[in-house]
Amino acid sequence: MGELDEVVPLLKISPQGPAETGRRAGHPGAPQPEPRVGRRAGIELPAITRRRRLSPPAAVRGPLSSGVALVPRVGQPTGVRSRQRWLPSLVLSLGLVVGWMATPAAAASPAPRVEARAAVVMDAATGAVLWQRREHLPVLVASTTKILTAIVANDGYPASKVLRVPEAAELVDGTRFGYRTGWRIRRDQLLTTLLMVSANDAAETLAAGWPGGRAGFLRAMRAKAAELGCTDSTWRDPSGLDVPGHRASAADLAVLGRALLQRPVLAKLVGSRAVTYVWPNGHRTVLANHNHFVGWGRDKGAIGVKTGYTTKAGATIVAAQRRGGRTLLAVALASKVMYQDVRALLGYGFKVRPEAGAELLGVRPEPPDDGPAPTLPPATERITGPVSGGPSPLVERLGVRILAAPVPVAACTGVACLAVGALALFWRRR
């Protein structure tokens, strides 16, 4: 061999630890100080890292410079640290996904709990049905009939009309206000007692003064109902007594309730908690609204309309409420808890919007004629490029998810998952 072919002896690994590691066999160098296991720059490493580094390497190959000790690398990623890095991100991602999915699930409002045999809740602006049960079933409707009676009298008689009370009015069955045969009562006074205290003698007086008498008034009721878009009803009595053939549906009553609210004189009456009534002799009395949905003042935004009751028909009600620029009508027929039913119907209705293809009740009013459509300006004067007339689909979707959702279990679950993800992210950065 040449001068460079010197045989280098193999390293000897001492079982005593790293004190003798790092010098050649037979080298007289000074003993190296034992490294401080598990420490780097004065910072103590976790116990699991310390235990792993106590084990010396199995073999060391290659030439080592004199006096250099083999110190294990400190700070290698372990399985625990790897899990600590990706676990918070996973929890945060899961929280975001679950929260995003829970919000639309919460937005789906459950159906209202209604005891009535037939019921409907309708959007007054469009006539769209928001929820219904047997809405087109003709049933006995009791004094909610007086909604149509009031509409016909309001449209057919002038405000100054004075009508004579017939004998049939004094003898009529059911609720009477106390009119006597031969008294002369103005139309508005009759409408007041008709709608506020459900006076059957007022209904009979209004019917008797019609051209053709009572029979002519009933024909006018049927004609007016058809004109407004009613399809299921047959009208045989101006008061709503249980006479043969007198029937109406919840859908038709909703249509009539909307028509009444479009007449200012009638809408003011049914939306009042109490009014002052002047008798023919000048005596004044205060009449409280028999419709407790309005009269008791417990339901904010309640604006009407009419209640009824007979033994066969049970309790019936047509209710209307206005919230946030929307007006809804709810009808409950043959119900033992009519006020709870209409509150449930209206509460549900204000949480939802009319669906595409929903049934539309009544005759839709024709849009006003604003004249011929304006012509477009020349092409050179038009603004080019897409112009958005509303929010982007993403913003609209977020708004629907956030604003339309109530706060049931699903929404709370989503919020909880988001909170857990945020806490996990905070714990990761500590």
Q: What is the pLDDT along the chain (430 residues), one digit of tens a residue?
A: 444 444 445 545 555 544 444 444 445 555 555 555 444 444 454 544 444 444 455 444 444 444 444 445 544 555 555 555 556 566 666 666 655 555 454 456 788 999 999 999 999 999 999 999 999 999 999 999 999 999 999 999 999 999 999 999 999 999 999 999 999 999 999 999 999 999 999 999 999 999 999 999 999 999 999 999 999 999 999 999 999 999 999 999 999 999 999 999 999 999 999 999 999 888 999 999 999 999 999 999 999 999 999 999 999 999 999 999 999 999 999 999 999 999 999 999 999 999 989 999 997 655 555 555 555 555 445 444 444 444 555 545 554 444 444 445 555 666 676 777 777 666 666 6
The alpha carbon of residue 276 and the mean position of all alpha carbons in its chain are separated, in whole angstroms, by 38
Per-residue exposure over 115-127, b if at least 16 CB sit within 10 Å of its own CB, e if not: ebbbbbbbbbeeb
Q: Is residue 385 in a domain?
A: no
Q: Is residue 397 in a domain?
A: no
State the residue range of the domain holding 429.
Answer: 79-109+406-430
Q: Is residue 68 in a domain?
A: no
| Catalytic annotation, residues | 143, 146, 198
Q: Is residue 255 in a domain?
A: yes
**Are 174 and 250 in the same domain?**
yes
Q: Is residue 203 in a domain?
A: yes
Q: 171: domain CATH number?
A: 3.40.710.10
**Are 170 and 241 in the same domain?**
yes
**Among 154, 204, 159, CA closest to 179:** 204
**Are 213 and 306 in the same domain?**
yes
**Are 140 and 269 in the same domain?**
yes
**Are 185 and 127 in the same domain?**
yes
**Are 243 and 341 in the same domain?**
yes
**Are 255 and 150 in the same domain?**
yes
**Are 131 and 224 in the same domain?**
yes
Q: Is residue 369 in a domain?
A: no
**Are 34 and 156 in the same domain?**
no
The alpha carbon of residue 407 and the mean position of all alpha carbons in its chain are separated, in whole angstroms, by 10
Cβ pair 293, 342 in contact under 8 A: yes
Q: Is residue 414 in a domain?
A: yes
**Are 140 and 224 in the same domain?**
yes
Cβ pair 315, 114 in contact under 8 A: no
**Are 157 and 251 in the same domain?**
yes
Q: Is 196 strand, coil or helix?
A: helix
**Are 85 and 165 in the same domain?**
no
Measured distance CA(164)–CA(183) in Å, rounded: 6
Measured distance CA(417)–CA(423) in Å, rounded: 10
Domain count, the chain: 3
